[in-house]
Structure 1
Amino acid sequence: MGLALVLAGCAALTRWDPPDVHVVQRGDTLFQIAFKHRLDWRDVAAWNGLGNAHRIYPGQELRLSPPGGARASRPAAGSATAPSRPASNSATTARRPAGAAASVPRGPAPAWGWPVRGPLLWRFGESRRNPTGIGIGGTEGAEVRAAADGEVVYSGSGLIGYGQLIIVQHSDTFLSAYGYNETLKVSEGERVKSGQVIALMGRGPADVPLLHFEIRVEGKPADPVRFLPSQ
């Protein structure tokens, strides 16, 4: 039964096909848009000719696929910084297509740690609502900690299906996401250290205390258990 659920969840990930365009809403950031559509913000910026300013504005239509099937041109690793400001005539940015679950990249990964200790309520691919991560049980109000050093690039509740969400970018390649929080303890643009308290655990869709946790590799969802140490 469990294996069937995992396979079904992974199949759903593989079939993911983002829409052609996204109409920017007030408060959107390019990073938020990219995360929602499982894209890399640098690709979206390139596909839309945003240049170094990376400005987006309400009502703007953003292309979510390369024009004419061309590949996006990437800045060299480390030459781009992630956007965090909302769209209200302010600067921002976004990420690249991720149809299938990511493989482990060649470059070194951060020294990951568990964001919270608790039972796995669902594994990667098992949740029909959020197949892109794992569900970790615990106690409402428990401390949620950053899984590695990084910068907070999103902190809010604007992404439907994640509750109060925090996204941390750890490098050009890796980011992590923490959903269904009761309280957010960090703000966008803030640097965090591994093990730092960034939120307090809230309740998920079944009204049980849990943390939805993701690791993404160049925008693609990857199984966090492959990176995390044994509990």
Structure 2
Amino acid sequence: MNYRPEQGKSRPTHSSATGIPWLRSLLYILMVAVSLPVMVGCNTSAIYQDDRYNPPVYWGRHVVKKGETLYSIAWRYGRDYRELGNANNIQPPYHIRAGQVLRLDLKGRVPASTRTASTADPRAASSGGTASQDRSARSTAPAKTDPKPQVTRKPDRGVELARQSQTVSDISWQWPHTGTVIANFSTSGQVNKGIDIAGNAGDPIRAAADGNVVYAGNGLLGYGNLIIVNHNEHFLSAYAHNRRILVKEGEDVKQGQTIAEMGDSGAEGNKLHFEIRRNGNPVDPMPYLPAR
């Protein structure tokens, strides 16, 4: 569109492009359109679909959908479930309902007893407690990696890998699948918040440690059929892209128990995407799993 002055009148002069009436109006409309998601306060799926973006997220709101749990929502936004629950006045056992609005722009705190336990032992020190809360609200920088955890009991290398276990941070861990690792943990470049393990459709996926199933569903984009297991107040593990889920939310599972069948849901091929999160932050699973 060209600006044409009326006949008999001189062309107006402007110090900037925004002085042109129609362009000024257009810019205003664009600014409103861009700011509308922030005004509404709900986050879009782009936040957790973008592999280059590494949470935590401390802005906006989330409307609970059917099938979601506080654990899965905290996982989506890179938050400690205890901290997110505290921010929204949700107490254990952290029941939420569809339609409930969770404030992501509020920062909660972890109860003093659990926070003291995590800071007293350097092996369980959190990189995502108060330190992560001090991070810039809109920072997209990858989270810092945790120091290598101390192994208190190494696996018996004479035992086949499928049955080997080692104790790290007071939890006995084993491989959820013994296939080849085809993608390693990475916090830069092509971000990978866990490891990817190759296998065949229908292969058994086993619980890496004793725990309780706190999510079993397909509500997190990019994960397909997903299981999240809570091991203690600090550690969660996740098993993604399953063909079939064999456990239910609230079920206790034992290390080595088959909890799913390998598949390609939410992925381009059959594989297991396996994550461990400590206090809400992704950590490299390799130091926790027995050496191959």
- What corresponds to 2:97 in structure 1? 57
- Cα–Cα, structure 1 residues 212 and 18, in superposed 2: closer, same or farther, change >3 Å? farther
Q: 3-state DSSP class of the match of 2:286?
A: helix
Identify the structure with bigger relative contact order (alpha carbons < 8 Å, sequence gap 6+).
1
- What corresponds to 1:74 in structure 2? 111
Where does the alignment leave 5 or more consecutive residues of structure 1 unmatched?
1-8, 79-94
Shift of 1:58: 3.1
Q: What is the number of equivalent residue pairs in this alignment?
A: 203
- Cα–Cα, structure 1 residues 228 and 55, in superposed 2: closer, same or farther, change >3 Å? closer
Question: Which ranges of 4 or more aligned residues in structure 1 deviate by more than 6 Å?
Answer: 126-130
1:146 partnered with 2:207: yes
TM-score (norm 2): 0.61
- Tell me how far apart the structure 2 counterparts of residues 30 and 179 of structure 1 sit (CA, whole Å): 18
- Cα–Cα, structure 1 residues 100 and 31, in superposed 2: closer, same or farther, change >3 Å? same
TM-score (norm 1): 0.76
Counterpart code for 2:260: A
- Tell me how far apart the structure 2 counterparts of residues 32 and 59 of structure 1 sit (CA, whole Å): 15
More helix by share: 2
User: How big is the alpha-carbon RMSD for the aligned residues of Structure 1 and Structure 2?
Assistant: 3.1
- Tell me how far apart the structure 2 counterparts of residues 163 and 42 of structure 1 sit (CA, whole Å): 25
Counterpart code for 1:169: N
Q: 2:180 pairs with 119, 137, 146, which one?
A: 119
Where does the alignment leave 5 or more consecutive residues of structure 2 unmatched?
1-49, 116-127, 134-141, 151-167
- What corresponds to 2:246 in structure 1? 185
Shift of 1:181: 0.4
Contact 2:217 2:225 in 1 (8 A): yes
Counterpart code for 1:30: L
- What corresponds to 2:269 in structure 1? 208
- Cα–Cα, structure 1 residues 181 and 228, in superposed 2: closer, same or farther, change >3 Å? same
Identity %: 40
- Tell me how far apart the structure 2 counterparts of residues 183 and 127 of structure 1 sit (CA, whole Å): 31
Deviations 1:64-102 (A, max 9, x none): 2435xxx51416349xxxxxxxxxxxxxxxx97686155
Shift of 1:52: 5.1
Shift of 1:48: 1.2
In our comparison, the structure showing a higher alpha carbon Rg is 2
> Superposition pairs for residues 80-229 of structure 1, below 5 Å?
100-104=143-147, 108-125=169-186, 131-203=192-264, 207-229=268-290
- Tell me how far apart the structure 1 counterparts of residues 88 and 62 of structure 2 sit (CA, whole Å): 11
Deviations 1:28-81 (A, max 9, x none): 2111111111111111111112245745333332122435xxx51416349xxx
Q: 2:84 pairs with 20, 44, 53, which one?
A: 44
Counterpart code for 2:262: M
More strand by share: 1
Contact 1:155 1:166 in 2 (8 A): yes
